[in-house]
Each structure stands twice: as structure tokens, then as C-alpha cells.
Amino acid sequence: MKKRNLYVLELIIGIIIISIAGILINNLIINLIRTNMGLSYSWLMQPAGFAISEYLIPFKPSDNYSFALIVGWINSLRVIVFGLILSTFLGLFAGISMTSKNLILSNIAKLYIGLIRQVPLLIQLMFWYFVVFLGLSEKPHDFLWSLGNISNKGFQLLGIKLSVEYCALLIGLSVYSGASIAEVIRGGIKSVSQGQWEAFRSLGLTETIGLRRVIIPQALPAIVPGITSQYLNLAKNSTLAIAIGYADIYAISDTTITQTGRAIEGFSILLISFLLLNLVISKAMERVNTAVNHYKK
């Protein structure tokens, strides 16, 4: 095609996209006028009027909506950060176990992955919360020589208190993402040629050291991109907290939207915050990726 034709085509497509957007915005404005809503963000400064069950920074119902949303964000981040750590360990362990020569270990790992990945996360979360954690006894049960205790109210270790909602969400998410990460890690390990295994064995290194020093570093460039998308999934999946009563950003946005009736405004805040979160995780992982690839050279 000639260059001029290309420009014409491009212009046409541009106009189509613009007109679709225009029609949608047009409808939005009509509907907002019709229902006397308009767009406004002033409600962000009004008192929220609802309490939040857990928070890292003190929150009272008389604080405003924007503060409630921040509290929700911190709660989300708390789950996401620890979920990333826990699922990585779990995935690493299960992924390596799958490549292990120990038949029982590798089959258990396969069973874990086969089972977890074929059942929706929502059901798993409900299971962890309603069956496992709420099924614990009401009386605190001590462990580790009374350093901590666990009951169906929460988990406590050395003065750190975690609610059961948090525990269920954290464990549910980590177990679910762990299975996907394990698959990624197994794929990465498989991508390292068999010769490398034979090489370190012939050097007399043990399996553990060989894995850690020889195989994993070479598998990392293949693993990191896969893990990045699993991390992003974990962050996005944390919004399912709403189903088990954990006050994360989505749950608080939901309550806010119901109470204020400001669906578009509340939703837009949610969107922007997730775009930011996504950006942060992918940028961080990009750095890891360059570091890993640098190491390879």
C-alpha cells in the first residue's frame, strides 16, 4: 500500500474509535443528567460512617471516605506483599519437588498442582475460610511453648495478631498462586539442558547445592517473565477478599459506592489505583529480569 493510503485508512479508523468513544460518553452524560447525578468527588471528604475491622493505621467511622480507601489499600498491600513471598516459596518447593527423583514427593507435588489449578480460587477461599479457619476451636490453642496461639478468631505469634480473614486470604491466595508458580519453575528447570545436571554431579556436588548454584541460576531467565505474570495475577486476585469478609480496597470501594451512590467516581479511583499497582509490580520485576539476564552473561 502507498503511504498516503495508509494515512487515509488510519484517519478512518481513528475517527471510528473516536466516534464510538463519543457515543458512549454522550450516553453517559445523558444518563447522568437524567438521574440527577453529575460527576463529583466531593464525597471523598465526607465522613464514612462505617467501621473497618482491621487496619494498620487507626481508623474511626468519623474519618472520611478517602481515608477509608487508603486503609483498604494498605490492607490489600499487606496481603499482596506477604502473598508474593509465601507463594514464591511454595511454588519453588513444589516446582523443585516435581523434578525430584523421589517418587512420592514428586507425585504429591503433581497432585497438589493438578488439584489446585482445576478448582476456582473463589471456592478455595471459601473453603479455607469457612471450613478450615472458622472450623478451628473457639478456645485459643497454644503452640510453640505458648509463644503463639491460634483460634477461630485469629492467629497470634510473639505479639503479632492476624485475623482469620487475613490468614484465610493469604493462605488461599498463596496456595493457588503457588501451584501456578510451581509450573513456571518446573518449566524453567526443564529448560536447563540435561548436560548441566550431569556436569555438576560429576563434580561431586550434592543435589541441593547443584540445584542452588548451577541449575536455578540458569533457569531464572526463563522463570522470571512467567513469575511476573503470576505475581500480577495474585495482586488482582486479592480482590476476591470481598467474598470472605476481609476489608481490602475492593471491598471498601464496594461499600463506598453503595453508600454514596457514586458508582463511576468510586470505580474510576479503583481503576487508577490498580493501574498504579500493576505498574509498580511490573517495573520491579523488569529490574529483576535485567539483573537476572545480566547475571547470565
Partner 1 sequence: MKKLETISRYIKRNFASSKLDLTINTFLLFIIWSFLVKIIYWIRFNAEWDIVTKNFPLYLFGSYPKAELWRPTLWISVIITLIIVTLSCPRKNNYTKLLPIIWILIVPLGIFLLAGGIGITPVASTDWGGITLTLCLTLSSGLLSLPLGILLAIGRQSNLFAIRKFCKLYIEFMRAMPLIAVLFFGQLLIPIFLPMGLEINRVMRAVLAFSLFTASYIAEDIRGGLQAIPNTQNEAAAALGLDSIQTFQLIIMPQAIKISLPALTNQAIGLLQNTSLMSILGLVEIFGISRSLLANPNFIGKYLEGYVWLACIYWLICTLMALLSKNLESKLNTDNI
Partner 2 sequence: MIKLYLTGLMSLTLMLSGCASLENDKRSRLDLIKTRDKLICGVSGKIPGFSFLKSDGSYQGIDIEICKALAAAFLGSPNKVQYRPLTAPERFTAIKTGEIDVLSRNTTFNLSRDSIGGNGLTFAPVVFYDGQGLMVKSNSKITRIEQLNDANICVGSGTTTEQNLNDAFEEKKINYKPIKYQDLNQVVAGYLQGRCKAMTSDRSQLAAARTGFKNPNRHIILNDVLSKEPLAPASIGGDQKLADAVRWVIYSLITAEELDINKANIDKKIKLATEDKSKTSLRRLLGIDPGLGQKIGLSDDFFVNIIKSTGNYGDIYNKHLGKDSNLPIPRGLNNLYSKDGLHIAPPMK
Residue 52 contact among partner 2, partner 1, none, beta carbon within 5 to 8 Å by kind? partner 2
Which of partner 2, partner 1, none sits in contact with 29, Cβ below 5 to 8 A by type? partner 2
Indicate which single residue of 36, 62, 118, 137 sits in contact with partner 1 (rule: CB under 8 A): 118
Q: Cβ-count burial of 62 within 10 angstroms (0-12 exposed, 13-18 middle, 19+ buried)?
A: exposed
Does 77 engage in binding with partner 1 (CB under 8 A)? no
**List 92, 105, 243, 285, residue binding partner 2 (CB under 8 A):** 243
- Closest C-alpha among 28, 62, 83 to residue 268: 28
Interface with partner 2 (CB under 8 A), residue from 18, 111, 123, 272: 18
The answer for residues whose C-beta is within 8 angstroms of residue 40's C-beta and 6 or more apart is: 262, 265
Q: Which three cell numbers stand for residue 38?
A: 453529575
Could you tell me the sign of the dihedral formed by the alpha carbons of 89, 165, 128, 273, in that order? negative
Examine residue 216 and tell whether it contacts partner 1 (CB under 8 A): no
Q: Which of residues 120-179 bind partner 2 (CB under 8 A)?
A: 130, 134-135, 138, 152-153, 164-165
The answer to whether 284 contacts partner 1 (rule: CB under 8 A) is: no
Stretch that binds partner 1, among 50-58, 83-91, 192-200, 272-280 (CB under 8 A): 272-280
Q: How far is the CB of 264 from partner 2 (least distance, A)?
A: 11
**Which CB, 3 or 297, lies closer to partner 1?**
3
Positive/negative CA dihedral, 131, 55, 69, 270: negative
Written as one string, the DSSP assignment of 101-161 is S-HHHHHHHHHHHHHHTTS-HHHHHHIIIIIIITTS-SS-EEETTTTEEE-SSEEEETTEE
Q: Please give the radius of gyration of the chain, using alpha carbons only, rounded to the nearest integer.
A: 25
Q: How far is CA 32 from CA 21, 22, 262, 263, 264, in A?
A: 16, 15, 11, 11, 10
245 binds, among partner 2, partner 1, none (CB under 5 to 8 A by kind): partner 2
Among 230, 237, 255, 256, binds partner 1 (CB under 8 A): 237
Please identify, using beta-carbon distances, which residue of 107 and 147 lies nearer to partner 1.
107
Per CB under 8 A, the list member of 77, 92, 242, 292 interacting with partner 1 is 242
- The grid cell for 101 is 527423583
Residue from 74, 77, 105, 222 touching partner 1 (CB under 8 A): that is 105
CA distances from 153 to 139, 149, 163, 221 (A): 9, 10, 6, 42
Per rule CB under 8 A, count of chain residues that contact partner 1: 51
Give the distance from CA 258 to its chain's centroid. Answer: 25
Regarding 255 and contact with partner 1 (CB under 8 A), the answer is no
Does 283 engage in binding with partner 1 (CB under 8 A)?
Answer: no
Contacts to partner 2 by CB under 8 A: 14-15, 17-19, 21-23, 25-26, 29-31, 33-36, 49-53, 61, 130, 134-135, 138, 152-153, 164-165, 242-245, 247, 251, 254-255, 257-259, 261, 263
